[in-house]
């Protein structure tokens, strides 16, 4: 039996397991995930980093891809697009993440 396509909430929940090792918070609450596209052909995440010079960008995008593969039905591709526009800013963080840093 093939697994069904995940919905956006399922993907976001899975991506909460991807932790930025520099700040010890997940990429969803950090506001690094800009978009999720779901089709029978492909699961695609558009994301950014806190800075273009982020030394762990490859690690994080690899982990996102692994989590997408774990959710994807057989025959469904996965893709991670790393973008810099719009640039990340602390306003993109969840309230929980802001509280963690004492910013709220």
Number of domains in the chain: 1
> Residue 25's beta-bridge partner residues?
20
Please indicate, yes or no, if residue 22 is contained in any of the structural domains: yes
CATH number for position 55: 3.30.300.130
pTM comes to 0.94
Token pair, residue 81, equals 């697009």
Q: What is the span of the domain harbouring residue 21? A: 8-89
Tens of pLDDT along the chain (104 residues)? 688 999 999 999 999 999 999 999 999 999 999 999 999 999 999 999 999 999 999 999 999 999 999 999 999 999 999 999 999 999 999 999 999 988 87
Please indicate, yes or no, if residue 100 is contained in any of the structural domains: no
The H or E element that residue 78 is part of is strand 77-82
Please indicate, yes or no, if residue 98 is contained in any of the structural domains: no
């Amino acid at each position: 039996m093939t697994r069904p396509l995940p919905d956006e909430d399922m993907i976001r929940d899975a991506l909460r397991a991807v932790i930025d090792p520099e700040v010890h918070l997940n990429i969803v609450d950090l506001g690094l995930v800009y978009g999720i596209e779901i089709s029978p052909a492909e699961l695609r995440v558009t994301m950014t980093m806190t800075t273009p010079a982020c030394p762990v960008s490859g690690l994080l995008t690899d982990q996102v891809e692994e989590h997408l593969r774990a959710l994807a039905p057989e025959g469904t591709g996965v893709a991670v697009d790393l973008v810099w526009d719009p640039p990340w800013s602390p306003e993109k963080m969840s309230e929980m993440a802001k509280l963690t840093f004492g910013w709220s």
